[in-house]
Amino acid sequence: MVSEKKDRRKERLDRGIKVRTDGVYAVSSWLEMSYLLAPRLIFILGLLALPVLLYHLPYWQRVLSIICIYALLAIGFDFLANYVGLVSLGGGFYIGVGAYIAALLNTKLGLPPFVTIPAATFLGAAICTLLFLPCLPLRGVYFAIVSLMFPLLAARVIEAFDIFGGTDGILGVDGFGAAWMEQYLLLISVLVVVFVLRRLVDEDVGLVFRGVKDNDQAVKASGINITTYKALGVCIASALGCLGGACLAHSYMWAGISQFALDFSIIPIAATVVGGGGTLIGPVLGCLILVPISELLRDFGTLRIAVYAIILTGFIVFKSEGIMVYATRKYEQLERWVQI
Give contact residues for other proteins (rule: CB under 8 A).
23, 203-205, 207-208, 210-211, 214-215, 217-226
Query: Which 3 state secondary structure label does DSSP give 262?
Result: coil
Task: Estimate to the nearest angstrom the gap between the alpha carbon of 101 and the chain centroid.
Answer: 21
Give least dist CB 109 to other proteins, A.
39
Residue 29 or 215 having the CB closest to other proteins: 215
C-beta of 38 vs 205, nearer to other proteins: 205
277: left (phi over 0), alpha (psi -120 to 50) or beta: beta
Nearest approach in angstroms of CB 226 to other proteins is 7
Half-sphere exposure at residue 269, Cβ-oriented, CA atoms within 13 angstroms: 20
Distance CA 56, CA 66 (A): 18
Helix extents (H) in 201-321: 204-214, 216-221, 226-252, 263-275, 282-296, 303-318
Q: Which is nearer to other proteins, 200 or 262 (CB)?
A: 200
CA distance to 34, 84, 223, 281, 300, per residue, from 208 (Å)? 32, 9, 11, 21, 46
Q: How far is the CB of 278 from other proteins (least distance, A)?
A: 10
- Sequence-separated (6 or more) residues with CB below 8 Å from residue 246: 98, 99, 101, 102, 116, 117, 120, 121, 124
Sign, CA dihedral 114-177-256-260, equals negative
Sorted by sequence, the CB contacts under 8 Å of residue 302 that are 6+ apart come out as none
Q: To which H or E segment does residue 339 belong?
A: strand 333-339
* 3-state secondary structure (DSSP) of residue 15: coil
Closer residue to other proteins (CB): 23 or 172: 23
Q: What's the closest the beta carbon of residue 222 comes to other proteins, in angstroms? A: 4
Closest CB to other proteins among residues 174, 216: 216
In 3D space, the residue among 244, 232, 230 whose CA is nearest the CA of residue 102 turns out to be: 244
CB of 275 to other proteins, least distance (A): 20
Cβ distance to other proteins smaller for residue 135 or 219:
219
Distance in Å, CB of 337 to other proteins, minimum? 30
Query: Smallest distance from the beta carbon of 199 to other proteins, in angstroms?
Result: 11
Nearer to other proteins, 98 or 322 (CB): 322
Smallest separation (angstroms) from other proteins to the CB of 224: 5
Q: Which is nearer to other proteins, 34 or 215 (CB)?
A: 215
